[in-house]
Amino acid sequence: MSRLLLLGDIYVQQLNGVAVQYQFDNIPDNRELEIDVLCVGGVTPQGAVNPNASFDGMDVFKEQLMDLEEGKYDYVGIMLGEVDCGFVFWYLAQQKKVSIFDQLERSLKNYEKFVTSYILPKYEPERVCIFGSVLPTIPDDADRKFLKGARAEVKATQYQRTALTLVYNSRLQSLARKLGVYYIDITLETIDFSKGILNESYSNPDPSNHLLDEGRAAPLLADRIVNDWVSIEDYKNHF
């Protein structure tokens, strides 16, 4: 069995403990990938700038990776961006007059530094994957009582937040290519192209829960992990 450590904000929780079977025609025995997650709510690559957080979540990831037992995991992935694109960029632009695009550049620069400093020294690039951010789920008519803290103050529309997420993911894909690591996102599968926002079928049926619908999103993401990354590397290792 192979094991994946997936670092990220609350969205990675939907994959915690998931085990996925996969098989090649030319390899007789089934293979299994087990996914463990390290979730830090509200984490942002920008650092300790989230007004809803009392600490820098990236420090938690750094400490865990530095203390990680050698060989415990075969693969490492990192999935960030929703907090930045869906909330923090906009909040700081409104309240502190900080340019959204300056924040975007800082976030991506810190993202790259984190991967090169804490992940790539321990894992070969083909064992590492950067995941694009999920699309914003909070609709324009969301009841503000369901939004946590300062997130309720963001005025950007869902379309604007989605457009920024697409830019961010495009830059993450370029970063992955630069570093020689894998890149995965589920944008094409989850977007409503006619509206330019998340397809409603992937929204959580609970209006107070702003994660994606776990029953649809988690299997989709797990399938992409196996078929677009892990099984390819497994195939390379056996042929």
At position 23, the amino acid (one-letter code) is Q
* Percent of the chain predicted with pLDDT > 90: 74
pLDDT in tens, 192-219: 999 999 999 999 998 888 899 999 999 9
Split at pLDDT 50, 70, 90, the class of 1 is confident
Q: What is the mean pLDDT of the chain?
A: 91
Residue, of 191 and 83, whose pLDDT is higher: 191
Greater model confidence, 210 or 225: 225
Interval 24-74: pLDDT, tens: 877 667 899 999 999 998 888 887 576 766 568 899 999 999 999 999 999
Going from the N-terminus, what domains does the chain have, and what CATH number goes with each?
2-238 (3.40.50.1110)
Mean pLDDT along residues 72-80: 97
The pLDDT value recorded for residue 147 is: 64
pLDDT band, very low/low/confident/very high, at 154 (cuts 50, 70, 90): confident
Whether 174 has a pLDDT exceeding 90, the answer reads yes
Q: From 101, 83, 6, select the one nearest 44 (Cα to Cα).
A: 83
Counting Cβ atoms within 10 Å, is residue 60 exposed (0-12), middle (13-18) or buried (19+)? middle
Provide the pairing of β-strand 182-184 with 2-8. Answer: unpaired
* Pairwise pLDDT comparison (28 vs 108), residue with the higher score: 108
Handedness of CA 47, 51, 57, 59 (dihedral sign): positive
Buried b (16+ CB within 10 A) or exposed e, 205-235: eeeeebbbbeebbbeebbebbbeebbbebbe
Q: For residues 84 and 107, is the Cβ–Cβ distance under 8 A?
A: yes
The predicted model scores a pTM of: 0.94
At 209 the pLDDT is: 87
Band (pLDDT 50/70/90 cuts) for residue 123 is very high
In tens, the pLDDT along 10-24 reads 899 999 999 999 988
